[in-house]
């Protein structure tokens, strides 16, 4: 799916080690590539099965992890909680597949806007599962953010395809993946989490692949599938580099540039533009999301 795992580390880098400008630039480039990958995925749904599309999307990252293990050894896979790591990988496969299925019916910019509900779901799950302290202001942001999502979807009005529900489920799976990231952050290294996610998700998607495989009908399809694998892996690496360069709360707002790129790609590739209600709902989601991220930043500063 479009949204990336941008807040997954409990530790805060020392001030002298941070480079906010570099982190923001890396994250912005990563979002540009992720949006390109989503566009390729939506285009390919006309001729290729969604599972096959997601399999290729994860292939690049899987091969990158294989190279990492060959260089650094199997110690990369040393985890204090392998069950949670496997669960996180399964959620990654689930969320990515549901997003591709959903985006095959829903305009790209609308799909991106709907999936921005994930940070609010993370807040709810963080409070219920991790027992995190969530004040009235952040709860208000969650409620308003969900209202913004309802404006985009407009249930019962027949404006957005019912497949938008799949996008909400995808966002929920991603949110659960984020919650697991927060639990694992204090136990395993980031590279270990990335390795497990790549191996488990790609492995699970490989199981049904022989039953849905469709040989690319054109050279363009093959180029797009391979390009998607390369760009998705590159985008994941850029996000990791951004998190290493700057604090997560600094680079997190850059994820909302996905809506801009999604609109641009949607117009030039598919001839689709969001209507005024979608823009209104998206604006509400983005505003409340930025507010939530700002509260997270203030909370981190207080804990220092």
Ordered alpha helix ranges (H), the chain: 20-44, 50-72, 82-103, 108-115, 118-128, 136-153, 164-185, 190-206, 209-212, 219-245, 248-251, 257-270, 276-303
Per-residue pLDDT of the chain (304 residues; tens, 9 = 90+): 555 444 444 444 344 356 778 888 998 898 899 999 999 999 999 999 999 999 999 999 999 899 989 999 999 999 999 999 999 999 999 999 999 999 999 889 888 888 888 878 877 887 888 777 777 887 888 889 888 888 887 765 555 678 888 999 998 998 898 888 878 877 888 889 889 999 999 999 999 999 999 888 899 999 999 999 999 989 888 887 887 777 766 777 788 888 889 989 999 999 988 888 888 988 998 888 888 777 666 666 665 5
Helix (H, G, I), strand (E, B) or coil at 81: coil
On whether the CB atoms of residues 165 and 58 are closer than 8 A, the answer is no
Q: Which two tokens stand for residue 288?
A: 């409340």
CA distances for 9 relative to 50, 200, 242, angstroms: 31, 21, 12
How many whole angstroms from its chain centre is CA 65? 19
Given a contact cutoff of 8 angstroms between Cβ atoms, the answer to whether 99 and 115 are in contact is: yes
CB atoms within 10 A of CB 268: 10
Q: What is the pLDDT of residue 186?
A: 75
Residues 123, 142: contact at Cβ < 8 Å? yes
pLDDT of residue 298: 67
Of 110, 81, 49, which Cα lies nearest the Cα of 185? 81
Q: What is the pLDDT of residue 49?
A: 94
* Residue 253: strand, helix, or coil: helix
Q: How many Å apart are CA 95 and CA 117, to the nearest integer?
A: 13
- Residue 128 confidence (pLDDT): 82
CA distances from 171 to 51, 144, 220 (A): 18, 17, 30
Q: What six digits make up the tokens of 109?
A: 């910019």
Q: Please tell me what DSSP assigns to residue 246.
A: S
Q: Say how far apart CA 38 and CA 59 lie, in whole Å.
A: 15
Give the C-alpha separation, 50 to 230, whole Å.
18
The pLDDT score that the predictor gives to residue 291 is 81
């Amino acid at each position: 799916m479009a949204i990336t795992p941008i807040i997954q580390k409990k530790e805060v880098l020392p001030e002298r080690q941070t480079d906010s400008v570099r982190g923001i630039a890396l994250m912005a480039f990563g979002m540009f590539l992720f949006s390109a990958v989503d566009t390729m995925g939506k285009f390919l749904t006309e001729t290729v099965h969604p599972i096959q599309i997601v399999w290729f999307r994860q292939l690049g990252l899987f091969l990158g992890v294989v190279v990492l293990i060959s260089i650094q050894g199997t110690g990369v896979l040393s985890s204090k909680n392998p069950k949670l790591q496997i669960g996180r990988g399964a959620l990654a496969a689930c969320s990515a597949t549901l997003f591709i299925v959903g985006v095959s019916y829903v305009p790209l910019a609308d799909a991106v806007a709907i999936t921005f509900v994930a940070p609010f779901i993370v807040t709810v799950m963080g409070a219920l599962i991790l027992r995190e302290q969530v004040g009235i202001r952040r709860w208000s942001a969650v409620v308003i953010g969900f209202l913004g999502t309802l404006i985009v979807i407009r249930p019962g009005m027949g404006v957005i395809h019912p497949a938008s529900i799949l996008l909400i489920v995808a966002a929920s799976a991603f949110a659960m993946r984020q919650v697991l990231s927060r639990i694992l952050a204090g136990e395993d290294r980031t590279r270990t989490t990335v390795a497990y996610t790549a191996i488990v998700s790609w492995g699970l998607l490989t199981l049904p692949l022989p039953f849905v495989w469709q040989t690319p009908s054109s050279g363009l399809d093959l180029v797009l599938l391979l390009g998607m694998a390369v760009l998705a892996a590159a985008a994941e690496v850029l996000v990791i580099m951004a998190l290493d360069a700057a604090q997560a709360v600094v680079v997190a707002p850059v994820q909302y540039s996905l809506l801009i790129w999604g609109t641009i790609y949607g117009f030039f590739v598919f001839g689709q533009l969001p209507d005024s209600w979608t823009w209104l709902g998206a604006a509400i989601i983005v505003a409340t999301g930025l507010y939530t991220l700002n509260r997270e930043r203030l909370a981190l500063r207080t804990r220092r």
